[in-house]
Structure 1
Amino acid sequence: MQPSPNERGPYNGLTRAEPTLPSPAYWDIAGYQRDLDAIWHRKWVLVCREADLAQPLAFRTFRIGTQEVVVLRDETGELRGFHNTCRHRGSQLCQESEGRLKARLITCPYHAWSYSLRGDLVRVPSKSLPDRFDKADHPLYRVALSVWRGFVFVNLAEDAAGSAETSFDPASGNLANWPLETLLSGHMLRKVMNCNWKIFWENFNECLHCPGVHKNLSRLVPIYGRGLMGRHDDPEWARHADNDAPEFSGGLRAGAETWSRDGRVHGSVFSGLTPAERTAGQTYATSLPSMFIVGHVDYVRTVRLVPLGPEQTELTAEWLFSPEALADPAADIDNIVAFGTQVLEEDADICEVNQKGLRSMRHKAGVLMPRNMNCTASTTGCATGIRRLNIKAIWADSAR
């Protein structure tokens, strides 16, 4: 999603036609279960920000596919994650989506087994315990947890490896100069999309649809209007390697400063950004399968996905600002949020259109087209194909 930091790097697109995933991969219940087992239940998945669990005893529950987890902050301030399941008879433990525990215990509402906030079984209401029953043998099912720059990720695999940081696409932009840990939420959007989660990611990974679907965004980021995400998505990029005009470099249109309806910043600009980061207009970091984050000069936008079924995906977007911007009555936050919301609504709508056509009995698979190697900079609509096959690759890996 970024122009390559190596301006002399190679062309970044396809050079031959490639098949998409088979159509049932986007709607079949067996394919959906495969996604859950091999991807969603084994990868690092964003659940919330640390600020959402600021106080001891605060908790939130999250559903990842068929699995429900609870993430809490214990009495010492440590974040912990567990399956939201009692070891006694499998009852759900926390019934609310968020709140604050009334005591330093998690007590099952069914038979009152109680656990410490570290997950240890500490109380069983039975008058007598069976022989050889050891409470130490019945802790909550712990979930691996990792914090990256104030964002909380979980991994449901019993043998979870790596960390949230290692889950990011190596080609992601570097957000080290954005003060992610100190930003506050200015707005949140939740939307259920009637499409498979992979449809959204495939849409995200290319800009073929941008000229027709995102007309305002394509005016703000002129290279999107050419159906390209970045300089190296053009097979003939080298002819324009020294041209820093936004339709070639990927920056914002002349006079624009950020993603907003009027292209202007609406609050203070982050002081630690480099001139190149300010010029870029947008810096993406991606952690498949659950989230991407975009750094702009005056705010940060995060988008979190979670599958609800073979043909339903929940999208949660959050706009993060500096405390000073949120406290400034002159900062027109709505101008920023309205623009980002429009882009996401357009994406959601076109993803649903894509989903609706996939059940044709004649449509076995689609085709990813290479860029037109004879494309010139003045030709519109010449770029075709998904820039990278991340989703196809990760899905194929799950079959092994």
Structure 2
Amino acid sequence: MEDNAVLEEGFNGLTRMQEALPASWYFDPAHYARELREIWGRNWVYLCRADTLDGPRSFRSFQVAGQPVLLVRDQEGVLQGFFNTCRHRGSLLCPQAEGTLKKAMITCPYHQWVYDLTGRLRATGPMRRVEGFDRDDYPLHRVRVAEWGGFVFVNLDPDASSFEELYGAETAYVANWPLEELKVGHVFSKTLNCNWKAFWENYNECLHCPNIHPELCELVPIYGRAIMARRDDPDWAEHAEDQAPHRSGGLRTGAETWSMDGAAQGRLPGLSDEDVAAGQRYVTVTPSVFIAHHADYVRIVKITPTGPETMELTAEWLFLPDTLARPDFDADKITRFGILVMEQDGGACELNHAGMRASAFRNGVLMQEEYEVFLFQQWVREQLGEAPKSEGAASRASRRMPVSE
């Protein structure tokens, strides 16, 4: 092990206690604005399923890091992304949340400037020609767009690495899931009174699981040990061949998926026995979403900051269309379990956030098992230019990819 290494080599853990982020970073308005700009404005952010932009001229508008964003499909069906602002004097181009344009053009409702669906300025309404103005110099400001597995992501930073470069290895881990074929069967949304980072930190450890998630620990026995994966145990090598769920991380014996009774409603085509045996696989795209993959469905959990001390949690459950159409399909067994777990997590995050307001509390500490919380917090520091790049902090997937199995 190199001198001063932070992460253990033989198992998943921290070599020593680490200081957590400053408490003020969870409620200070100026710092929140900095995070919107430096983190949310420079990383890939999940917005929606691609099929919600159905066909040429369909559009949707969003707020990303406090910025107005417009997505629109051009005449060839290619998804285009722009800042939702006219190049004339800055008016919103599409104040509606979604719809279909009547013509293959975007017309500013204020002064009638007209753009084609690739963003080129085509007309300036009733305005007379003026010296020094060239329409070619005033296209819409672009926003980078990526589509993967029927999911749509945007990045406001024109110089950021591509989605494939950053997440190709992690998305390959779930390549067998027929993601593009799936349709939304249920949506759940909840406002949480906590900073967005508090939710991610909760997601990245299972020390809280035995106390907060008794039902989940019964379904995924390793969580009942307050760890997330086999190699979180310093003595994992002594039990390396033991495939019992409390050692391997799989579902309890007889369970097939995350649901109220553990029963799956079918099996998604293309999955291997290994995919199903894992019980759950994740794709994590920080800071906005994690996507949980199960035998019979996929769950999207989207995090949206709405203020220094509030956030919106939105979950979508995806199923095959044929499954949704089955008369015996019972989505409630699946969605009720997911909502139960998220409600429990939400309550824990609010409890955590409220306590940070104590004037005597300057920052917390991270213990051995909280290695993923450390990696997340180190990523935050790096995004803000507060820390040099360090071991492991560039990768956010270690606990759920095969290296940690």
Distance 1:364 1:102 in 2: 55
Cα deviation 1:345-400 (Å, max 9, x = unaligned): 111111111111111110000011114xxxxxxxxxxxxx3435232122111232
- Residue equivalent to 1:123: 123
Match of 1:291 in 2: 289
Distance verdict in 2 for CA 1:343–1:172, change over 3 Å:
farther
Q: Distance in 2 between matches of 1:172 and 1:162?
A: 13
1:387 aligns with 2:386: no
How many Å apart are 1:201 and its aligned residue? 0.6
- Shift in alpha-carbon separation, 1:245–1:306, aligned structure 2, 3 A: same
The structural deviation recorded for 1:49 is 1.6
* CA distance, structure 2, for counterparts of residue 183 and residue 172 of structure 1: 16
Q: Distance in 1 between matches of 2:313 and 2:232?
A: 27
Change (3 A) 1:252 1:245: same
Q: Does 1:399 align with 2:398?
A: no
Conserved? CA contact 2:22–2:362, under 8 Å: yes
* Aligned match of 1:230: 229
In the alignment, structure 1 residue 304 sits paired with structure 2 residue 289: no
| Code of the aligned partner of 2:282 | Y
Q: Tell me, yes or no, if the aligned pair for 1:60 and 1:70 is still in contact at 8 Å.
A: yes
The Cα of 1:225 is off from its aligned counterpart by 0.9
Structure 2 Cα separation of the partners of residues 320 and 172 of structure 1: 17
Extract structure 1 runs of 4+ deviating beyond 4 A. 169-173
Match of 1:89 in 2: 89
Secondary structure in 1 aligned to 2:312?
strand
What is residue 6 of structure 2 aligned with on the other side? none
What does residue range 14-163 of structure 1 map to in structure 2 within 5 Å?
14-163=14-163
Provide the C-alpha distance between the structure 1 equivalents of 2:356 and 2:376, rounded to a whole number of angstroms: 17
**Whole-Å separation in 2 of the counterparts to 1:136 and 1:111:** 18
Distance 1:172 1:100 in 2: 31
State the TM-score, normalized to the length of structure 2: 0.90
Segment of structure 1 superposing worse, 60-69 or 119-128: 119-128
The residue aligned with 2:3 is none
How much does 1:170 deviate? 5.6
Cα distance in structure 2, aligned partners of 1:184 and 1:101: 24
Is this contact kept in 1: 2:35–2:384, CA < 8 A? no
Q: Does the alignment pair 1:166 with 2:165? A: yes
Does structure 2 conserve the Cα–Cα contact (< 8 Å) formed by 1:65 and 1:308? no
CA distance, structure 2, for counterparts of residue 185 and residue 196 of structure 1: 27
Which aligned pairs between 1:203-282 and structure 2 lie closer than 5 A?
A: 203-266=202-265, 268-282=266-280
The residue that corresponds to 1:189 in the other structure is 188
What is the distance in 2 between the residues matched to 1:198 and 1:125? 45
Aligned residues: 377
Q: Post-superposition shift, 1:191?
A: 1.8
AA partner of residue 142 (structure 2): R
5+ long unaligned stretches in structure 1: 1-8, 372-384
Alpha-carbon separation, structure 1, partners of 2:173 and 2:235? 26
AA aligned opposite 2:160:
A
Partner secondary structure for residue 76 of structure 2: coil
RMSD: 1.6
| 1:140-161 Cα distance to aligned partner (Å, 9 max, x none) | 1111111112211111013232
Q: CA contact under 8 A between 2:20 and 2:374: conserved in structure 1?
A: no
Contact 1:46 1:154 in 2 (8 A): yes
Structure 1 residue 84, shift from structure 2 partner: 0.8
* Larger relative contact order, structure 1 or 2 (CA cutoff 8 Å, min sep 6): 1
What is the deviation of 1:65? Answer: 2.1
2:177 counterpart residue number: 178
How far does residue 62 in structure 1 lie from its aligned partner after superposition? 1.2
Change (3 A) 1:156 1:272: same
Q: Secondary structure at the match of 2:34?
A: helix
Question: Take 1:299 and 1:123, find their aligned partners in 2: how far apart are those partners?
Answer: 47
Percent sequence identity over matched residues? 49
Contact 1:65 1:309 in 2 (8 A): no
CA distance in 2 between partners of 1:389 and 1:312 (Å): 22
Where in structure 2 are there 5+ consecutive unaligned residues? 1-8, 386-405
Secondary structure of the 2:30 match is: helix
- Quick check: 1:341 aligned with 2:327? no
Q: Would the aligned equivalents of 1:14 and 1:387 in 2 still touch at CA under 8 Å?
A: no
